[in-house]
Amino acid sequence: MAELVIEDVGGGTRIVRGPTNLGILEARDGTAVLVDSGNDEDAGRKLLRRLEADGLRLSLIVNTHSNADHCGGNAFLQARTGCRIAATREEAAFVENPLLEPSLLWGGYPPASLRNKFLMAKPSRVTDVLAPSGPIPGMELEAVPLPGHFVGMIGVRTPGGVLFCADALASAEILAKYPVFFLYDVAAHYRTLDFLASCPAELFVPSHAAPVREIGPLVEVNRRAVDRVNEVVLDLARPEPSWEDLLAGLVTRLGIELNHSQYALVHASIRAHLAYLADTGALATRFESGKLRVGCRP
C-alpha cells in the first residue's frame, strides 16, 4: 500500500483513497473508527501512524465484509491498540477463520496455491457482532445491508450522509479488466443494485470506484456487467455443454486470463450465476456419463 491519500469530506469523515477505499470517522470523544482496514499489516501500520499523528485513538474497526483487502490490517491494529472489531455474524466467521474463504471458493480444503495473502487475511477477533441493518451499537453509524458480493456484506452510513458501500459496486475500468466480478448471490446482488439506485445519500463511497454524489450511472454500469455474464452463460448453454466446457467457453469469450486465484473466483461466481438462472427457470441441469450438463429451458 502506497502512502495514504486522504480526502476530508467533512463531518469528521475522511476517505482513505486507494485500490480499496477505506474510511476514517472521528467520534465525538476524540477516538477514531475505521471502515475496513486495508489489505495487510503494512496498510494497518500506515493507518495507525496517521491516526497517532492526528492525536486519535483507534476504538473500532467496522468490517463491511471479510475479503482480505478489507480486513487485512485488522490483526496488526487490534494487537497494537486493543481496538474492537465489528462485523455481521456471517462475515465474522470468515474474519476469525480466514481459511473459510478459499475453502468456500474451492469447495473443499484449498490447495496451497489458494492459501495466499490475496484470499486469506491474518485472523482477528470480532468483538461486536452486527445486525445487517440498523444502528451500530455505541456509535453514530448505521449498518446498511448490501448482500450479493459476499455472504453478509454491509455498508456503513455516517450521520453526515456518507455511505461506504463496500464491494456492491466496482468501477467501469475494473469491470473491463475483471468481467466476471465475484458474486456469491446474484439475485441478492440485483436487489442491492435496485436499493442503491434509489438510496438517499450525500456521498457514495464504493471500495473500488471513485466516490460520487450521483450513484445511478455506476449502478447501471454494474447491472450491465452482471446482465452480460448471464447472457453469455445462456448463449453458451444452448448446445448443453458440460459444466467445465461452459466455464472454458466463457473464459475464452470474455478474454479472462486465469491463475489459481482467478480460476477459483470465476469458477465460484459462475456457479452463482448458474444457480440464479436455474432458480429463475432460464436454465436446467442434468447428468450424463458422470458430467453435469447445462442447457437452456425451451
Quick one: 210 and 287 in the same domain?
Answer: no
Quick one: 132 and 257 in the same domain?
Answer: no
Q: Which of 194, 227, 260 is the last residue of a domain?
A: 227
Quick one: 133 and 245 in the same domain?
Answer: no
| C-alpha distance from residue 41 to each of 18, 34, 47, 187 (Å) | 15, 15, 10, 35
pTM: 0.95
Burial-class residue 27 by CB neighbours within 10 Å (0-12, 13-18, 19+): middle
Quick one: 273 and 195 in the same domain?
Answer: no
Quick one: 115 and 87 in the same domain?
Answer: yes
Residue 190 has phi, psi (to 5 degrees) of: -60, -40
**R_g (Cα) of the chain, nearest Å:** 20
Quick one: 193 and 279 in the same domain?
Answer: no
Mind listing the pLDDT tens digit for each residue in 209-229?
A: 999 999 999 999 999 999 999
Lowest mean pLDDT segment, chosen from 23-37, 88-102, 146-160, 183-197: 23-37
Quick one: 22 and 139 in the same domain?
Answer: yes
Quick one: 126 and 256 in the same domain?
Answer: no
Q: Which of 202, 227, 252 is the last residue of a domain?
A: 227
Instruction: State the residue range of the domain holding 262.
Output: 236-296
Mean pLDDT over residues 66-73, rounded?
98
Mind listing the pLDDT tens digit for each residue in 241-261?
A: 999 999 999 999 999 999 999
Quick one: 209 and 291 in the same domain?
Answer: no
Mind listing the pLDDT tens digit for each residue in 257-278?
A: 999 999 999 999 999 999 999 9
Quick one: 12 and 128 in the same domain?
Answer: yes
Please tell me the total count of domains within the chain: 2
Average pLDDT, the chain: 96
Q: Which of 178, 201, 227 is the last residue of a domain?
A: 227
Provide, rounded to the nearest whole percent, the portion of the chain with pLDDT above 70. Answer: 99
Task: Provide the phi-psi class of 138: left if phi over 0, else alpha when psi is between -120 and 50, else beta.
Answer: left
Quick one: 240 and 206 in the same domain?
Answer: no
Mind listing the pLDDT tens digit for each residue in 192-210?
A: 999 999 999 999 999 999 9
pLDDT at 91 over 70: yes
In whole angstroms, give the CA distance from residue 91 to residue 124: 12
- Banded model confidence at residue 30, pLDDT cuts 50, 70, 90: confident
Quick one: 148 and 44 in the same domain?
Answer: yes
Tell me the CATH number at 188.
3.60.15.10
Mean pLDDT over residues 146-161, rounded?
97
